[in-house]
Amino acid sequence: MPRTSSKKGSANSTSSGTSSTVDLFRAASGKAASKELERIDQLFYNYANSSSRIIDPEGIESLCSDLELDHTDVRILMLAWKMQAEKQGYFTLDEWRTGFKALRADTMVKVKKALVDLEKEVRRSSNFIDFYSYAFRYCLTEEKQKSIDIESICLLLDLVLGSQFHPQVDALNQYLKIQIDYKVINMDQWMGFYRFCNEISFPDFSNYDPDHAWPLILDNFVDWIRSK
């Protein structure tokens, strides 16, 4: 019997020791996460407007300068996507925290490294479709706005798709600039552009079927190319 009692005491001691170790690990992890969040916040306030406490276009310019990126670089748009920023040219503290915690980046050195991985993340097919649709929504700058003017769409197409589908985007932009039927582009047409570039053989359009519910603007684009 005494031996049995001794074993129970030993087991309880071991359990207590394990519990203490777990508690210490949790406390250390919580403290590290808190410190990381403090650094992320400090990074935010380096660029935030002191009165509005939001990063505005001027702050984004400064951020781009420190990242050694042009403000039109697609990686800035990718960063906005990671934050799920709602208003073009502005980042709130909550959006900043969302993006930078996900990137595990609390210093500029880490941010620069994280952008390399972020670009790879975005280029994965499932992520890219989400990023591509986000790019359109991010450019809707007015309340209840549902379409974007042709000039802006051409710039956005070149920024988002130009590196992957340069011949298609170049031809599509040429057409968009000379056609007179459309002054703006909506989300359905925008998503159709990506599907077209991704699926249709270019420049022969051998697998293009106008009966497959393509936006009419793409039917017209194909006719325009063939007529040339």
Domain boundaries, the chain: 21-123, 144-227
pLDDT in tens, the chain (228 residues): 445 544 555 555 555 556 666 555 555 556 667 899 999 999 999 999 999 999 999 999 999 999 999 989 999 999 999 999 999 999 999 999 999 999 999 999 999 999 999 999 999 888 999 999 999 999 999 989 999 999 999 999 999 999 999 999 999 999 999 999 999 999 999 999 999 999 999 999 999 998 888 999 999 999 999 998
Q: Which CATH number fits domain 144-227: 1.10.238.200, 3.90.640.10, 3.40.50.1460, 2.130.10.30?
A: 1.10.238.200
Q: Are 197 and 157 in contact (CB under 8 A)?
A: no
Structure confidence at residue 1 (pLDDT): 46
Q: Which of 117, 118, 111 is nearest to 66 (CA)?
A: 111
Rounded Cα distance, 197 and 199, in Å: 6
Q: Which of 199, 205, 197 is nearest to 223 (CA)?
A: 205
Q: Are 64 and 72 in contact (CB under 8 A)?
A: no
Q: Is 22 exposed, middle or buried (0-12, 13-18, 19+ CB in 10 A)?
A: exposed
Structure confidence at residue 73 (pLDDT): 95
Q: Do domains 21-123 and 144-227 have the same CATH topology?
A: yes
Name every residue whose Cβ is closer than 8 Å to that of residue 111 and which is 6 or more positions away in sequence: 43, 67, 100, 103, 105
Structure confidence at residue 29 (pLDDT): 56
pTM here is 0.84
Structure confidence at residue 23 (pLDDT): 59
Structure confidence at residue 226 (pLDDT): 93
Residue with tokens 């702050």: 59
The CATH code that applies to domain 21-123 is 1.10.238.10
Structure confidence at residue 27 (pLDDT): 54
Structure confidence at residue 121 (pLDDT): 95
